[in-house]
Chain A
């Protein structure tokens, strides 16, 4: 087995976009995160993978500035996070679309909150609606769309504010398998073309290995990073070659081997 390309620790001299330093989070008596540290290299996609309830959403919301850590801190571009900011955009697991607003207004909503003029924000939104493949649905309402289409609206909204860090909380869990695979390929293209830092939460081992430059495995509560895996061999291969790549399969097995102890 050729595992030489898998490195268990992050590279030393990488450009770090987001850095989590000794973060703990308690909900009353529940210790969700305990002294968790993790670096997210700029321009790469890092997956957070771990059993249900281990604190992935909690970590993402702390990075987003929506939750305050009990102790420790998060730095984005060297600046300590004190709240939400324009350098980060969140894609919600349940889409979080305004049901009373059209696709166009939903996608432009992030810009609307930032005070961008109506004509300008709508032309930006139209571009991203096209990019995610929803051209022609600008004036539809969320309840007229399928789950996959709604998720694209959420993605377009996050992209249109042009934040350098994208936080995605299980964005593909509400869509069917075919759509999911299509989204995964789109995500790979996005990472390649957009030069943004992606932080991606998922339940699926295969998905994490397929899309990630770096995978952080979290253990159950109180959660910390147990392992960091950096697939390197197949990232530049065509997307339809990845799933039969040797290294891909090895990493999937390896992750399963270390997680299976925690699944009863």
Chain B
């Protein structure tokens, strides 16, 4: 972005919004919005506390388990759907349904099935993340150039070779895009899980702070969460750019 001929650094619009936040906070418009500076002071005061590290590790555990499971199941299932008509016909309606379903409404059912613990939270995270990973992997495989597959076959590739040396790489740009969106949805999933299933992790902190009207604390935790999600998504965006050189030339 350019302003008066000067090239502004990336994300300078964030500075502007931050400033606006600070002003509104200082003007004491509503208790809901404390000044940004106060939020940051609070952030640094709670960041090392045992309650915070416990919340962070609980959340990180549920989140990363959910994401790893979604990736390990989602990518092969998507590739399978893209390569097999039969599997596709059977699974596609379900995948589409779950992608757009109000998953929050399913959480109580999960609690009945899997109890009130970590297991249910991880499954909620998976339910939020996996469908877009499946769909994107499937789309990536379906646009593959058929003659690449024939080429591999003609040189004696077996099913496994075709999977790992052709389909996966040909679909990689779409797969990474799916994983990136899936991870963002997983953040949503893990927090909803923590709020609805058992009050642990960041969910517990949110619950505690908002019940006691500790808005600066509330915003501080939210900012930590945003920052984490942003970093992970940026890492994946970087990986996507790494494969962009062939994405347009398949």
Contact = CB atoms under 8 A, between A and B. Distances in A.
Highest count of chain B CB atoms <10 Å: which of A86, A94, A113: A113
A96 interface: yes
A92 B245 CA distance: 23
A96 B147 contact: yes
Contacts of A84: 153-156
Given A66-B154, A90-B154, A113-B161, 7 more contacts: A84-B155, A94-B145, A98-B166, A100-B169, A100-B172, A109-B155, A112-B165
Given A100-B169, A113-B161, A85 B148 contact: no
A53 interface: no
B151 interface: yes
A99 B246 contact: yes
A43 B153 CA distance: 25
Interface residues of A, number: 25
Interface in B209-250: 243, 245-246, 249-250
B110 interface: no
A88 interface: yes
Nearest to B154: A90
Nearest to A112: B165
Given A94-B147, A98-B148, A141 B156 contact: no
Contacts of B156: 84-86, 113-114
Interface of A: 61, 64-66, 84-86, 88-90, 92, 94, 96, 98-100, 109-110, 112-114, 141-143, 161
Interface residues on B, range: 20 to 34
Q: Is the contact region of chain B dominated by helix, strand, or loop, or is it mixed? A: helix
B157 interface: yes
A114 B158 CA distance: 10
A66 B147 contact: no
Contacts of A142: 249
Contacts of A88: 154
19 contacts: A64-B154, A65-B154, A66-B153, A86-B156, A92-B150, A92-B151, A94-B147, A96-B145, A98-B166, A99-B246, A99-B249, A100-B172, A100-B243, A100-B246, A109-B155, A110-B155, A113-B156, A141-B245, A161-B155
Contacts of A96: 145, 147-148, 150-151
A112 B165 CA distance: 10
Contacts of A86: 156
A136 B170 CA distance: 26
Contact of A113 (B145, B152, B170, B249): B152
Q: Is the contact region of chain A dominated by helix, strand, or loop, or is it mixed? A: loop
B157 to A, nearest CB: 5
A51 B169 CA distance: 36
A205 to B, nearest CB: 26
A85 B155 CA distance: 7
Shortest Cβ-Cβ A-B pairs, 5 listed: A99-B246, A96-B151, A110-B155, A90-B154, A96-B147
Highest count of chain A CB atoms <10 Å: which of B154, B161, B165, B250: B154
A94 B154 CA distance: 15
B249 A89 contact: no
A94 B250 CA distance: 11
A257 to B, nearest CB: 35
A165 B118 CA distance: 60
A101 to B, nearest CB: 8
Contacts of A143: 245-246, 249
Contacts of B170: 100
A133 B199 CA distance: 68
